[in-house]
Amino acid sequence: IEVTEESERIVEDAVMRALESLYNPDNLPQNNASSAGERIVMSQQANADSKSAQFTGEVLEEATRTLVQEFGMDILPVANEVINKWKVEEEQENDGNATEVPETRKKRQAVFRIKRQSGGSKKCTTHPSNCNDRFHTTTRSITGHCNNRENPELGKSVSPLRRVLGGAFYADGLGQMRTRSVTGAELPSARLISNVLHDDRNNQVFSANINHLHMIIGQFIAHDVVFIPSSVVFNTKLILLSLIPLLLARNGGQLDCSACNSPQRVSGNCAPIRVSLNDRYFKIPCMRLTRALNGQENFGVRSQIGQNSHFLDLSTVYGSSECEMDSVRSFRDGKLKTFTGLGYTLPPQNFNDTNCQSKAPWVCFTCGDFRNSLHPALIPIHTIFIKEHNRLADLVRSRRRRMSDEEIFQLVRKILIGMWQHIVYNEYLPKYLPQRSLRNFDLQPLRNRVHLGYKPKQDPSISAEFAAAAFRFGHSQARFDFPRLNAAGRPAGNYDLGHDIFYADQNYLSGIGGWEPVMNGMVRLAGMKSDRYFSFGIRNQMFEIRGRNGSGVDLVSVNIQRGRDLGLHPYVMYRQFVGLSPVSKFNDLNTTFSKENINALRSVYSDPMDIDLYTGIMLEENMAGAQLGPTGVFLIAEQFKALKTGDRFFYESSVANTDNFNLDEMNEIRQNVTLAKLICTNMDSINRINTDIFDFRSNQVACSTLPEININTFLR
């Protein structure tokens, strides 16, 4: 495609007009800050880098609208060529050059984030100028940058989500959420769907064999690989004046998307969910939801980003940026910070977390991932990994007195990530994916061999379908309550999930042994059956403020609405994509749905083409030997394959010039690492544990009989 002076002028004009209209005070929403100065509790907070991506995304979105209005869709490919030309030009220009940069040039640089490195004053994220230095060749970076040497940004933190089904499904083809059925009627509201199809009516159906630990480990995986930040408020003028990314952090405040008319009154990034008058819990006309921030980097369709490193690399423990990593390190002997003021170990306290609902002294915590205090049962998992890191660091230090803090840190980080990857592929996935899929997608660990399947062409990024639908299946496994068990395995009280979202006080109960009884409960008691029903807390009390019924949201509705927000295609498209029979009427679903579920779907959707992906996945009949139906299984298995074959530092992979494990080290992990031992080693009140860690009915064995990782294997 030829870029002409004419096309360049048209594009420049569209971008400048977009900037003007976005920062025109008359166009700024009147009440965009949250009402009454109250912070809205949320889990998807955008960091400074994501906010900077949103700025670019919104200018491009607005400019796309103008271009399409005036010239039609056909202009977009040329327009994108113009951006590429500019980027090349700007980057070639010498930064140190003192000649005056014209105003439009400056704006252009700001929009396309061309001067990010030189402008930044804080090293939250490094942007290595090339990936060929020794560190990035051999070692996994904290952001994931340079993991793929041909395309260094693939899978790094703050980079685009991938799409399994090409394109996105938007009402206007660009970014507007679908609101209409194929019949022309209005789509059912996400809350209505949740009420009709996903309400467990407090009839709790537990899994026959899988424990609650499987749920929480799933969430820990989710928090490692998925973080879709929500849109924030923008003051474009300030951004343009400063041109400094750091200032963005202060610009982008929360949007209040509670009102039904917030899409008009507050921001186009509001997508509140309709609640009907006869709702059994919510007495409000709409439930708040902010759209995932638009990180589109080209003219064309809206696109979303993952803020954490997409790789399975313990972002939960170490963070996804230099700042996050620095905030958890002690910088002594390679260890991580902890809080031990109560006589047992917790992650370090965070006194500046304005999202935390419980106040000092029961503050929330600082971990690699911001969502660590989303509910109290996440903290035991974070703590076990922190303790294991520090235990291994002590062992290394006792054998290698001269290793520096940095050397110990990197070595232990690498070992712990290897252990984690092994646990996920060896123990977690086989518990709900069928054997056949594990084989077909090459997800089984090898024996006494190195994996030679690293594929630089494999995009490791998290897919929108996995993040916004398939891997949220775990919400169905969450119990209403978290029962505590003491060291002897006897009941020791419980707490309700819905009462504790972003409250940390349950972790401060030193009198009953802190978090350990919660952990014991998850190991020894059943989780909920993975099905279409969700517990009360999940469906009614997400982010609820204690004592204020209805002040929270319904997570199931959010999941459904999030799918529409991300432009996921309707369920039947994916169904066909994974090889199931095509569907034109409800009865065609009968190959993978029960009669009962087909009738249920019919009672809320007017056409099978309308079924949301999340709902479709949750209503499919489970495959034999699996906890999910064929569409969910496919989207999850496909993602874990990408995370394996697309990760240059995967623990089983042997790749030239990397500092990956040798065969002895790999075998050490394969033979001696289990989640059971990891838990045993880092808890005081556990002496016996399930032989099959995720099966609460399995025999109990003494912790001391389980094999233990030998650190000497890794000291070359």
Q: Which is nearer to Ca ion, 425 or 482 (CB)?
A: 425
Q: Does 215 bind ligand HEM (CB under 6 A)?
A: yes
In this structure, what DSSP letter does residue 428 have? I
214 is catalytic: no
- Burial string for 132-150 (b: 16+ CB within 10 Å, else e) reads eeeebeebbbbbbbbbbbe
Tokens of 190: 């996400």
In 3-state terms the chain splits into helix, strand, coil percentages (rounded to 5) of 45, 10, 50
DSSP-derived secondary structure for 559-582: HHHHHHHTTPPPHHHHHHHTTPPP
Q: Which residues contact 55 (CB under 8 A, 6 or more apart)?
A: 110, 111, 234, 236, 239, 248
309 is in the binding site of which of Ca ion, ligand HEM, none (Cβ under 5 to 8 A by kind)?
Ca ion
- Report the residue from 7, 44, 194, 541 that binds ligand HEM according to the rule CB under 6 A: 44
Nearer to Ca ion, 313 or 668 (CB): 313
Decide the pairing of beta strands 491-496 and 159-160. unpaired
- Of the two residues 192 and 226, which places its CB atom closer to ligand HEM in the complex? 226
Residue 432 binding partner per list ligand HEM, Ca ion, none, with a CB distance cut-off of 5 to 8 Å that depends on partner kind: none
Other CB atoms within a 10 A radius of the CB of residue 461 amount to 28
Which position's Cβ is nearest Ca ion?
315
497 makes contact with ligand HEM (CB under 6 A): yes
CB 313 within 8 A of CB 572: no
Rounded CA separation 46/28 (Å): 21
CA atoms within 13 A on the CB side of 199: 13
- Residues near 535 by beta carbon (within 8 Å), at least 6 away in sequence: 200, 204, 478, 479, 480, 497, 528
Residues 606-625 that bind ligand HEM (CB under 6 A): none
Residue 707: which of 465, 491, 339, 422 has the closest Cα?
Answer: 422
Contacts (CB under 6 A) with ligand HEM, residues 24-43: 43
Shortest distance, CB of residue 432 to ligand HEM, whole angstroms?
Answer: 9
For 541-561, give one letter per residue: b (16+ CB within 10 A) or e. bbbbbeeeebebbbbbbbbbb
Adjacent-strand bridge partners of 334: none
CA gap 550, 287 in Å, rounded? 9
Q: Is 471 in the site for ligand HEM (CB under 6 A)?
A: yes
Whichever of 381 and 709 has its CB closer to ligand HEM, that residue is 381
- As a whole number of Å, the end-to-end CA separation of the chain is 54
DSSP class of residue 305 equals E
Q: Contact between 52 and ligand HEM (CB under 6 A)?
A: no
Pairing of strands 159-160, 206-211: unpaired
In the complex with ligand HEM, the residue whose CB is nearer, 478 or 643, is 478
Torsion 190-195-197-203 (CA) sign: positive
Q: Would the annotation count 136 as a binding residue?
A: no
Q: Does residue number 475 form part of the binding site for ligand HEM (CB under 6 A)?
A: yes
Which of 120, 252, 434, 474: binder of ligand HEM (CB under 6 A)?
A: 474
Q: Write out the binding residues for Ca ion, residues 209-248 only, by CB under 5 A.
A: 224
Residue 315 touches which member of ligand HEM, Ca ion, none, C-beta under 5-8 Å by kind = Ca ion
Question: How far apart (Å, rounded) are the C-alpha atoms in residues 501 and 42?
Answer: 10
The one segment of 271-279, 302-310, 343-351, 614-622 that binds Ca ion by CB under 5 A: 302-310
The residues, any chain, with a CB within 8 Å of residue 267's CB and separated by 6 or more, are 29, 32, 231, 233, 255, 257
Query: Which one of Ca ion, ligand HEM, none interacts with residue 471, CB within 5 to 8 A by kind?
Result: ligand HEM
Among ligand HEM, Ca ion, none, what binds residue 558 when CB lies within 5 to 8 Å by partner kind? Answer: ligand HEM
Contact between 335 and ligand HEM (CB under 6 A)?
no
Of the two residues 368 and 608, which places its CB atom closer to ligand HEM in the complex? 368
- Shortest spacing between CB 477 and Ca ion, in angstroms: 21
Does the footprint of ligand HEM cover residue 160 (CB under 6 A)?
no
Who contacts 430 (Cβ-Cβ below 8 Å, separation ≥6)? Answer: 438, 444
**542 touches ligand HEM by CB under 6 A:** yes
H-helix segments, 497-612: 516-524, 536-540, 555-565, 571-577, 595-602
* Cβ pair 379, 346 in contact under 8 A: yes
Q: Which of the residues 430 through 469 are near ligand HEM (CB under 6 A)?
A: 467
* Residue 259 binds which entry of ligand HEM, Ca ion, none, CB below 5-8 Å type-dependent: none
Q: Is 555 in the site for ligand HEM (CB under 6 A)?
A: yes
3-state SS of 103-126 is HHHHHHHHHCCCCHHHHCCCCCCC
Alpha helical stretches, state H, 455-532? 464-468, 516-524
**Partner that binds at residue 226, options ligand HEM, Ca ion, none, CB closer than 5 to 8 Å by kind:** ligand HEM
Of residues 145, 375, 532, 564, which one binds ligand HEM by CB under 6 A? Answer: 375
Residue 203 buriedness (CB in 10 A; 0-12 / 13-18 / 19+): exposed
Q: Does 212 bind ligand HEM (CB under 6 A)?
A: no
Distances (CA, A) of 388 to 234, 385, 391, 450: 42, 5, 5, 25
Q: Which does 224 bind (CB under 5 to 8 A by kind): Ca ion, ligand HEM, none?
A: Ca ion
**Cβ proximity to ligand HEM, 396 vs 469, nearer residue:** 469
Residue nearest to ligand HEM (CB): 474
Contact region with ligand HEM (CB under 6 A), list: 508-516, 555-563, 576-584, 681-689 = 555-563
Give yes or no for residue 226 binding ligand HEM (CB under 6 A).
yes
* Interface with Ca ion (CB under 5 A), residue from 32, 147, 195, 315: 315
Q: Tell me the closest approach of the beta carbon of residue 313 to Ca ion, in angstroms.
A: 5
Largest CA distance in the chain: 78
Cβ nearer to ligand HEM, comparing 227 with 661: 227
The yes or no reply on residue 115 touching ligand HEM (CB under 6 A) is: no
Among positions 87-106, residues that touch ligand HEM (CB under 6 A) are none
3-state secondary structure at position 481: strand
Catalytic residue among 223, 310, 422, 451: 223
Q: Does 559 bind Ca ion (CB under 5 A)?
A: no
Tell me which residues in 559-578 interact with ligand HEM (CB under 6 A). 562
Does residue 62 touch Ca ion according to CB under 5 A? no
Among 309, 383, 507, 645, binds Ca ion (CB under 5 A): 309
If contact means CB under 5 to 8 A according to the sort of partner, which of ligand HEM, Ca ion, none does residue 227 touch?
A: ligand HEM
Taking CB under 6 A as the criterion, the residue among 198, 387, 472, 532 binding ligand HEM is 472
Q: Which does 476 bind (CB under 5 to 8 A by kind): Ca ion, ligand HEM, none?
A: none
Binding residues: 475
Binding residues for heme b: 475
Q: Give contact residues for ligand HEM (rule: CB under 6 A).
A: 43-44, 215, 218-219, 222, 226-228, 374-375, 467, 471-472, 474-475, 477-478, 497, 542, 555, 558, 562
Q: Give contact residues for Ca ion (rule: CB under 5 A).
A: 224, 308-309, 311, 313, 315
Catalytic residue set: 223
